[in-house]
Amino acid sequence: MITPWDSGAPGVLRLPSGRLVRGRGLRHPLPDGPEPTYGLYLLAKEPPPVAWESRLLRWPDFRLPADRDDAARALRDAWDRAAGERVELACGGGKGRTGTALACLAVIDGVPPREAVAYVRQHYARGAVETPWQRRYVTRFGGVATGA
């Protein structure tokens, strides 16, 4: 059995189902504590290598995922894995793309799409989800990948 994230650790978001996921910025040092077992990296190019299983989701800074169908699959997979693994989502700074992806996980977890950004801002970071199109992406994500 994998030890879950500490719910009080920096960047850890508890979804309504109880799943724990960690968001972070890759420009910052790796937080203390256990390493992820899976990372979903939201970047325009390959991230630095890591010691755990990971996947790149092509997502340019301040924009939306390059392939929205692939994004929906990758986010659903991250949500599924969070039931028993230490999953982290990360972009460069840990706010815009990471916040947007965490809000999409909240939608998958049952948070109404119009409330998901506020949920992530309250429970993860006040500045999460940086642009109007990222907020709109979250509100429209509900039609793509709901069904917790």
pLDDT range class, residue 143, cuts 50, 70, 90: low
- For residue 26, being part of any structural domain is answered with yes
- pLDDT on residue 52: 97
Range of the domain at 109: 14-142
- For residue 3, being part of any structural domain is answered with no
Q: What angle do CA 44, 49, 53 make, to 5 degrees?
A: 95
pLDDT digits (tens, 9 = 90+) for 51-76: 999 999 999 998 999 999 999 999 99
- For residue 2, being part of any structural domain is answered with no
- For residue 30, being part of any structural domain is answered with yes
- For residue 66, being part of any structural domain is answered with yes
Query: DSSP letter at 94?
Result: S
As for how many domains the chain has, the answer is 1
- For residue 132, being part of any structural domain is answered with yes
Task: Count the Cβ atoms, other than its own, within 10 Å of residue 9.
Answer: 13
Report pTM: 0.94
- pLDDT on residue 5: 96
* pLDDT over 70 at 147, yes or no: no
Q: Judging by beta carbons within 10 Å of its beta carbon (0-12, 13-18, 19+), is residue 70 exposed, middle or buried?
A: middle
Alpha carbons 57 and 117: distance in angstroms, whole number: 20
Alpha carbons 86 and 81: distance in angstroms, whole number: 8
- For residue 108, being part of any structural domain is answered with yes
Task: Count the Cβ atoms, other than its own, within 10 Å of residue 88.
Answer: 28
- For residue 8, being part of any structural domain is answered with no
Q: What is the CATH number of the domain that holds 110?
A: 3.90.190.10
pLDDT digits (tens, 9 = 90+) for 3-39: 999 999 999 999 999 999 999 999 999 999 999 999 9
